[in-house]
């Protein structure tokens, strides 16, 4: 509730009243009115609530039958408003507009439902948008039947019963103070230099009023709203654009600490929005641009989300420290469940959830690549990167380069069955090459390693027999005791059969895979080594088990 503590009201004009027989009261007024030096106080906080220097209503013409109100101009100047959220989370503005009714005394009679002239019980009085100041006189409507469905919006605009026309509405020299005592520590903000105009407001269908509004947040961040509206027709119409730039975000730390679990170290917000409302359908575009947004110290808050907000910020932030979010929203205003604020919050929450559950999917979406960047597969027994794998590493490298706040863990894995067989094949082929390597070594022509030895098909057959001869397992022999040469397929099968792969061999394979990816990732120097880590092999995810374990998994932090 509020108390009026000052003000001067005056009016000058002509008032005419008549009561013709069997007709409604005839009343009309023409003239002007003004209220100067208005002062009100919020009874709860005992602070000033709404003040203004001057409110001038010029060229008033009003009549009761048919109802109409026109004004040449409305001018509000030097105004001040204080918006306060109480420690209990209640908004003072809401409490003024919707005061809590006094509690009923025990034994007091229940109020009788209002009955309009000619009406009957079961008729309810409702206030509908429209008329002067956005409201129209109370009107009687039949009480809706239980479970009744609201009527759909009319396709064509219709006028309220009252004709309302105000060609010029202006605001100047405005200040709005906002204080939130619900949040700890308390948050305060101030809008200054509030200036605006609404030109051509009319309840006639098809008309549009031009809206212009500007202000500054904390004397610094400019706010602009422009567009066309008509709140007086049914359904209402709006096509507006809003823009705010250079908003410092660190003062919002009380909110981020409470709900995100971290203070805001620094950052600025630029935001552009556009809202189009027609035939009770909303199409909205919200573009948020955050520059150098950085979380600071952790805060212990029972209301803070458990989702990885730091990781989400690192995923969204580009190399220049900028975050761009486009949040389109559309829906029917006839749907009682359609609330734009909760929808935007839900979209942002979904981004946080995706950062927690599928960070690479979010990164791939931002980066523009559909394939998953969360893992890299290898042929069984191999730690070599094929061209497809190298291309994927290149995409991951670019993504990490563009998001410098991210760190990467690389976990090598092995498939106990497939990689065991794969390693047997690798070991046999390496033993075959080793025979040729020994010859070249004696001649001083050996390459850098056994793996670098190249063999033709004929050479492979020759050195396969050499490897078979030197292998330590029983073999078929000739009558003179020499190892008998068998078909290549048979010698290869026997070598594989008698090759042993240990658990240590498998672990080394997993580590070699992780190291190969790390080396490829760091080769160009775009990603610093301190951002890439080899992680110990742990339990594989269910996704990895289904896809096969001959791979490396990536984890973003």
- Mapping DSSP onto H, E and C, the string for 22-80 reads CCCCEEEEEEEEEEEEEEEEECCCCCEEEEEEEEEEEEEEEEECCEEEECCEEEEECCE
Q: Are residues 552 and 538 in the same domain?
A: yes
Q: Are residues 49 and 76 in the same domain?
A: yes
DSSP letter, residue 186:
-
Q: Are residues 237 and 293 in the same domain?
A: no
Alpha carbons 196 and 173: distance in angstroms, whole number: 9
Tokens (6 digits) for 209:
């009023």
Q: Are residues 329 and 240 in the same domain?
A: no
How many alpha carbons lie under 13 Å from residue 208 in its C-beta half-sphere?
14
Please indicate, yes or no, if residue 262 is contained in any of the structural domains. yes
Q: Are residues 165 and 242 in the same domain?
A: yes
Q: Are residues 546 and 415 in the same domain?
A: yes
Domains held by the chain: number? 3
Q: Are residues 389 and 321 in the same domain?
A: no
Please indicate, yes or no, if residue 117 is contained in any of the structural domains. no
Q: Are residues 515 and 429 in the same domain?
A: yes
Please indicate, yes or no, if residue 384 is contained in any of the structural domains. yes
CATH number at residue 541: 3.30.1330.60
For residue 548, what pLDDT is reported? 63
Please indicate, yes or no, if residue 489 is contained in any of the structural domains. yes
Please indicate, yes or no, if residue 397 is contained in any of the structural domains. yes
Which residue range(s) make up the domain with 537?
Answer: 371-557
Tokens (6 digits) for 41:
């106080």
Please indicate, yes or no, if residue 135 is contained in any of the structural domains. no
Give the global pTM: 0.71
Please indicate, yes or no, if residue 197 is contained in any of the structural domains. yes
CB of 233 closer than 8 Å to CB of 205: yes
Alpha carbons 80 and 34: distance in angstroms, whole number: 17
Boundary-marking domain end, from 329, 357, 385: 357
List the chain pLDDT tens, one digit each, 557 residues.
Answer: 788 999 999 999 999 998 888 788 889 999 999 999 999 998 877 889 999 999 999 999 999 888 899 999 999 999 999 998 888 888 887 776 666 655 545 544 444 444 333 333 333 322 233 333 333 333 332 333 333 333 344 456 776 678 999 999 999 999 999 998 888 888 899 999 999 999 999 999 999 999 999 999 999 899 999 999 999 999 999 999 999 999 999 999 999 999 999 999 999 999 999 999 999 999 999 999 999 999 999 999 999 989 889 998 988 898 899 999 888 989 998 888 888 778 888 888 888 888 877 888 777 766 655 457 888 999 999 999 999 999 999 999 988 998 899 999 999 999 998 999 999 999 988 888 888 888 888 888 888 888 888 888 888 888 888 888 888 888 888 878 788 888 989 888 998 899 899 999 999 999 999 999 999 999 999 999 999 999 987 545 555 555 568 899 998 88
For residue 335, what pLDDT is reported? 87
Q: Are residues 234 and 294 in the same domain?
A: no
């Amino acid at each position: 509730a509020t108390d009026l503590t000052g003000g001067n009201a005056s009016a000058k004009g002509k008032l005419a009243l008549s009561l013709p027989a069997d007709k409604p009261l005839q009343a009309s007024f023409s003239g002007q009115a003004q209220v100067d030096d208005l002062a009100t106080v919020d009874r709860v906080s005992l602070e000033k609530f709404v003040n203004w220097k001057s409110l001038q209503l010029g060229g008033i013409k009003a009549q009761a039958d048919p109802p109409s109100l026109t004004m040449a101009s409305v001018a509000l100047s030097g105004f001040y408003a204080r918006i306060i959220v109480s420690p209990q989370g209640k908004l003072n503005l809401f409490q003024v507009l919707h005061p809590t009714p006094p509690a009923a005394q025990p034994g007091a009679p229940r109020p009788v439902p209002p009955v309009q002239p000619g009406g009957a019980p079961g008729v309810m009085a409702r206030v509908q948008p429209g008329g002067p100041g956005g409201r129209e006189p109370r009107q009687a409507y039949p009480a809706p039947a239980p479970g009744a469905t609201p009527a759909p919006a009319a396709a064509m605009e219709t006028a309220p019963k009252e004709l309302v026309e105000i060609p010029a509405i202006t605001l100047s020299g405005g200040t709005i103070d906002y204080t939130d005592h619900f949040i700890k520590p308390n948050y305060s903000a101030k809008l200054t230099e509030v200036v605006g105009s609404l030109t051509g407001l009319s309840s006639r269908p098809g008309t549009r009023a031009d809206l212009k509004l500007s202000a500054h947040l904390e004397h610094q961040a400019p706010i602009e709203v422009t567009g066309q509206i008509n709140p007086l027709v049914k359904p209402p119409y709006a096509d507006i654009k809003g823009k705010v730039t250079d908003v410092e975000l660190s003062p919002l730390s009380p909110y981020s600490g409470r709900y995100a679990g971290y203070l805001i170290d620094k950052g600025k917000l630029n935001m552009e929005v556009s809202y189009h409302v027609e035939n009770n359908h909303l199409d909205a575009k919200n573009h948020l641009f955050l520059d150098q947004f950085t979380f600071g110290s952790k805060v212990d808050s029972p209301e803070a989300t458990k989702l990885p907000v730091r990781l989400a910020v690192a995923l969204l932030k580009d190399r220049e420290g900028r975050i761009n979010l486009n949040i389109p929203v559309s829906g029917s205003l006839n749907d009682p469940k359609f609330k734009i604020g909760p929808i935007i919050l839900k979209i942002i929450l979904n981004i946080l959830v995706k950062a927690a559950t599928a960070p690479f999917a979010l990164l791939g979406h931002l980066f523009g690549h559909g394939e998953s960047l969360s893992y890299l597969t290898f042929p069984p027994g191999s730690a070599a990167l094929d061209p497809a794998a190298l291309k994927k590493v290149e995409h991951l490298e670019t993504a990490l380069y563009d998001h410098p706040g991210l760190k990467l863990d690389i976990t090598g894995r092995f498939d106990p069955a497939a990689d065991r067989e794969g390693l047997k094949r690798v070991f046999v082929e390496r033993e075959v090459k080793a025979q040729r390597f020994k010859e070249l070594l004696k001649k001083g022509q050996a390459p850098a390693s056994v793996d670098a030895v190249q063999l033709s098909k004929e050479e492979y057959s020759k050195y396969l027999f050499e490897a078979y001869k030197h292998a330590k397992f029983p073999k078929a022999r000739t009558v003179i005791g020499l190892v008998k040469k068998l078909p290549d397929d048979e010698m290869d099968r026997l070598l594989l059969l008698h090759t042993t792969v240990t658990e240590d061999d498998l672990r080394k394979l997993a580590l070699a895979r992780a190291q190969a990816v790390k080396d490829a990732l760091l080769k160009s120097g775009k990603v610093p080594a301190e951002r890439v880590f080899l992680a110990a092999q742990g339990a594989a995810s269910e996704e990895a088990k289904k896809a096969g374990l001959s791979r490396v998994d990536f984890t973003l932090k």
